Chain A
Amino acid sequence: MEYNVPTVADLVAKGETPEVLFWVGCAGSFDDRYKRVTKAFVKILNHVGTKFAVLGPEETCTGDPARRAGNEFLFQMQAMANIQVLDGYGIKKIVTACPHCFNTIKNEYPELGGNYEVVHHSTFLQELIDQGKITIEGGGSFKGKKITFHDSCYLGRANNIYEAPREVLKVLDADLVEMKRCKTKGLCCGAGGAQMFKDAEKGNKEINIERTEEALATGAKIIAAGCPFCMTMMTDGVKNKEKESEVQVKDLAELIAEAKEL
C-alpha cells in the first residue's frame, strides 16, 4: 500500500483543511526508534481514512524541555512561533504520539493564545476502536501474549489518562498484566522534566533500571509504552538487563499496526 503523508501546506494549497493535525514531535521526527512509531501511526491513519496532515518541515519543538529546565523565554518563543503557524493554518484539532507535546499544547498553549482540541494518540486509537474503525479479528499476532503497560507521567498523573491506552491494548486480546506501581502510582521512566537531555544526578541506581526491573518482574514479553522518552528509557533498561531477545518495548500504535499487518 502506498502511504500518504500530506502536509498542511499541501492541503491548504488545494483549498482543503485537515480534520486533524498529526503533531509528530522531535523524537518522532528524528529519533530512529521513534520514527517507527510515527510511521506506524501514519499507516493506521491511512488505513482508517482519517483526513490528516502534518506540518512537516514547519514543525518545531513545543518548548517543553526548555520550560521544564527553567528557560521560560525559550519556551515562550517556541510556543508563540508554533501558535502562529497553527493558527495561520486554522488548525482546530491536534493528535500527537508524544505525551510531552500533548501536555504542552493542550495545557500550556491556551494561556499564550493557542486553543486547540488536543488528543494523545492513545485516546485517538481508542476512539477509532470504539467507532469500529479498527477491529482485529481474533486478536491477531499478540493474542494471549503477556503485555504490561508503562504509564507515562505526562499522560497519567499529569493529565489523568490511564484507561485509553489499556483499552487500546484490549483489542489485541492479549494477557494484560499490571506492574506493582501503575496508574496514579506509576513510576517514572526517569526522563521527564528535561532529564532526557542530561545525565542523572548522583545516586545509587538509574531510575529506568528500577522501572525496567519492575516491568520484567511481571513476566511480560512486551512492555507497551505511549511516550518517546519512556520508549528510550525502557529500551535501554531492557538492554541493560540483557533481555532484549526476549522482551520488546513497543508503542501502542506499533502494536495495532503490527496486529493489523499494516
Chain B
Amino acid sequence: MQYLPQIAFLAVFAVFGYFIYQRISRIKSNILLGQYQDFSDNSGDRWQTMLLVAFGQQKMFKRLIPATFHFFIYVGFVIINLEVLEFVLDGLFGTHRLFAPLLGAAYTFALNFFEFLAVLVVLACVVFLIRRNVLKVERFTKPEMKGWPAMDGNLILIIEVILMAAIFTMNATDQLLQEAGHDGYPQTGKFFFSSLFMPLFDGLSVSALVVVERVAWWFHIIGILAFALYVTYSKHLHIFMAFPNTYFSRLHAKGKMENMPVVTNEVKMMLGMPVENADAPPAEVGRFGAKDAIDLSWKNLMESYACTECGRCTSECPANLTGKQLSPRKVMMDTRDRIEEIGEAVAKGGTAGEDGKALLGDYITKEEINACTSCNACVEACPVNINPLDIILQMRRYVAMEESGSPASWNAMFQNVETNFAPWKFAPTDRFNWADELKTEK
C-alpha cells in the first residue's frame, strides 16, 4: 500500500504522456500535409532570429504594456517549471521536497524567487483578464474572436491563476506542517508570499493540513499535465511553436514574394529559353496557387499552429482598420481550423477535400483576400514572425491562374500589361513622351 501514491503518480504521467504524444504526432503530420519548402539554409541566422524573437521576445516589446506583463508570465512559466523537476522526483521516489535538505539556504531562496514570480504571473493574468473582459481591448473583440477563441483565451488565464493558487496553498500548508513538526516535512525556511496565506489554514488539524497539502500537490502536478494537453488543442500552443516558427523565419526582404519555379519552366519553354532539367520527366504539376490548406507550404501550416490570436496583425492591417472583411489573424485561424479538419479526415483513412470543402470559399472569402494591400504591416507586427500575407497571395494565385476569377478590373489590368506593357491603357509608343516634354520645357 505504501507504494500506491508512486504507482498512481506513474499512471497519471503515463496517461497524460500518451495523450500528449498522440496529439503532438497529429499536429506534426498535419503540418507535413503541406507542400515542401526548403528552409535548410543559414542556420546561424536562424538560431539568432529564434534567440532574439522567441527567446528574447524582441518583437513583443513594440507594445510595452502587454509585453511587460507577458514577460512576467513567460519567465514565470519557464522558471517556476524548474520546480516540476522536484515534483516529478518526489512523485517517483515517494519523497517530499527532495532538494530541501540538499540545497539548504539555496532552496529557501529559490522557492521564494519562484513564489515572487508566481505573484507576478497572477498579476499579469489578472491584468490580461481585465484587458479582455473589462477594457475590451479592440483586437480581442473582433468578429473572429467570438465564441471559442474568447473562451480559450480566458480559460488559459484562469487556469494559470488556479495553478499558482495551488502552489501558494501547498507551500502555506507545508510551512504549517513544518511548524507542527509533522513527520516527512523537512524544514525549508520561510517562504514569504505563501506564508501570508498561512492564517487561512491556521485552525486546521495536522491531518487536515496534510490532506490540503497533498490535494494541492496533486492538483498542481495533474493541473500542469492537463494544461500541457489542453495547450495542444489551444491557441496557447505558441509557447512551444514560437521557437521552431521563428527558427524557420523567412529571412529575405519582406517585399519578396516566393517564386513559382514550375511557372518559370513553362515561361522559359514558351520563350524558347533553355530549361533546367529539361530531360527530366515533367513533374506532376499540382495546383497553381492555393485553394485548400494542403496547397500551402508546411511552413504556412506551422505558422497557423504558432498563432496565439493576439491580433496585433489585424490591429495594424489597413484593410481591417477601414472596415474591410480582411483580418490577417482570421486567415491564420481559418488555416489551422481547416488543416485540423483535413487531418481528422486523413487520420480516419480519408483524403483532403473529400468533404467538398476548401479553405478558400468555405473559410476565407475572395472579398477578404482581395482587400489586402500587401503592405506587410501584419508580418511586421507578428511577435513570432508569422506571415499571413504569404497565404493571401497564394490564394490570389489560385484565383487568377486556376479560376480566372480575379476582379474584372484586375483582368483588365492583366490585359493592359499583356498588350500595352503597362498596367494602364496607354500606347507603348507614348512611353517616352515625357522626355520630349522635358526638352521643350523652359
Instruction: Find A188's partner among B375, B393, B413 (CB 8 Å cutoff).
Output: B375
Which chain B residues in 251-309 approach chain A with CB under 8 Å? 252-257, 259-260, 263-264, 266-268, 270-271, 273, 288-289
The stretch from B93-101, B333-341, B424-432 touching chain A is B424-432
CB <8 Å contact, A61 and B401: no
Which one, B255, B267, B318, B424, contacts A73 given CB within 8 A? B267
For the A-B complex, the count of residue pairs with Cβ-Cβ distances under 8 Å equals 226
Q: Decide if A197 touches B439 in the complex (CB within 8 Å).
A: no
Known: A61-B422, A69-B410, A80-B267. A184 touches B380 (CB 8 A): yes
At the interface, yes or no: A76 with Cβ under 8 Å from chain B? yes
Task: Give every chain B residue within 8 A of A30 (Cβ-Cβ).
Answer: 422, 424, 426, 430-431
Residue of A nearest to B407 (CB): A198
Query: Could you say which of B263, B266, B400, B438 contacts A39, with CB atoms under 8 Å apart?
Result: B438
Query: Which residues does chain B contribute within 8 Å of A3, judged by CB atoms?
Result: 438-439, 441
- Give the complex CA separation of A69 and B435 in angstroms: 31
B406 touches which of A35, A70, A200, A202 (Cβ 8 Å): A70
Q: How far is the CB of B278 from chain A (nearest CB, A)?
A: 16
Q: How far is the CA of A65 from the CA of B374 in the complex (A)?
A: 11
Verify A108–B256 contact, CB threshold 8 A: yes
Chain A: CB-nearest residue to B374:
A193
Tell whether A70 pairs with B398 under 8 Å between CB atoms, given A5-B439, A61-B422.
Answer: yes
**B396-416 toward A: CB 8 Å interface, digit per residue (1/0)?**
111111000011011011100
Contacting pair A39 B396 (CB below 8 A): no
* Bound Cα distance A258, B376 (Å): 33
Decide if B73 is an interface residue (CB 8 Å cutoff): no
Residues of B with C-beta under 8 A to A80? 267-268, 271, 273
Known: A26-B422, A54-B435, A107-B252. A76 touches B374 (CB 8 A): no
Whether A39 touches B441, Cβ cut-off 8 Å, given contacts A30-B422, A76-B267, is yes
- Segment of B41-49, B116-124, B236-244, B319-327 engaged in the interface with chain A: B319-327
A144 to B421 CA separation, bound complex (whole angstroms):
43
A24 to B437, CA, bound (A): 15
**Any chain B CB within 8 A of the CB of A141?**
no
Q: Interface stretch among B80-88, B177-185, B217-225, B365-373?
A: B365-373
Residues on B with beta carbons closer than 8 Å to the beta carbon of A108: 256-257, 259
| Contact flags A36-76 to B (C-beta < 8 A → 1, else 0) | 00110011000000000010110111010111111111101
A207-B422 contact given A2-B439, A112-B259, CB 8 Å threshold: no
CB pair B377 A60 closer than 8 Å:
no
A204/B322 in contact, CB under 8 A: yes
A111 CB contacts on chain B under 8 angstroms: 259, 264
Q: B379 at the A/B interface (Cβ < 8 Å)?
A: yes
Residues of A contacting B429 with CB < 8 Å? 57
Q: Are B399 and A70 in contact (CB under 8 A)?
A: yes
Point out the residues of chain B lying under 8 angstroms from A68, CB to CB.
Answer: 257, 374, 393, 396
In the bound complex, residues from chain A placing their C-beta under 8 Å from that of B289 are 70, 72
Inter-chain CA distance A7–B435, complex, in Å, is 10
Inter-chain contacts of A185 with B (CB < 8 A)? 62, 316, 377, 380
Complex alpha-carbon distance, A261 and B372, angstroms = 40
A210–B322 CB distance below 8 A:
yes
CA separation between A158 and B326, bound complex, in Å? Answer: 20
Residues of B within 8 A of A77 (CB): 267, 270-271, 418
Interface residue? B75 (CB, 8 A): no
A210 and B318 contacting across the interface, CB-CB below 8 Å: yes
Q: Convert B120-157 into 0s and 1s, putting 1 for each residue whose CB lies closer than 8 angstroms to a CB of A.
A: 00000000000000000000000000000000000000
Is A160 an interface residue when CB atoms closer than 8 A count as contact? yes
Question: A78 to B416, alpha carbons, bound, how many Å?
Answer: 12
- 9 new A-B contacts, CB < 8 A, other than A39-B438, A69-B406, are A39-B437, A63-B417, A69-B396, A70-B399, A72-B401, A158-B253, A192-B374, A200-B371, A203-B323
> A107 contacts B422, CB within 8 Å?
no
Is B372 a contact of A5 with CB atoms below 8 Å? no
Which of A5, A193, A197, A207 makes the CB contact (< 8 A) with B413? Answer: A197
B3 at the interface (CB under 8 A from A): no
In whole angstroms, how far apart are the Cα atoms of A236 and B426 in the complex?
21
Chain B residues, Cβ within 8 Å of A112: 259, 264
Confirm or deny: B423 has a beta carbon within 8 angstroms of a beta carbon on chain A: yes
Q: Collect the chain A residues with CB atoms within 8 Å of residue B270's CB.
A: 77
Interface membership of chain A positions 86-113, coded 1 if the CB is closer than 8 angstroms to chain B and 0 otherwise: 0000000000000000010011100110
Are A107 and B255 in contact (CB-based, < 8 A)?
Answer: yes
A157 to B360, CA, bound (A): 27
> Mask for A139-177, Cβ within 8 A of B = 1, else 0?
000000000000001100111100000000000000000
Binary flags per residue of A188-232, CB closer than 8 Å to B gives 1, else 0: 101111111111111111110011000000000000000000000
| Distance between Cα atoms of A54 and B372 in the complex (Å) | 33
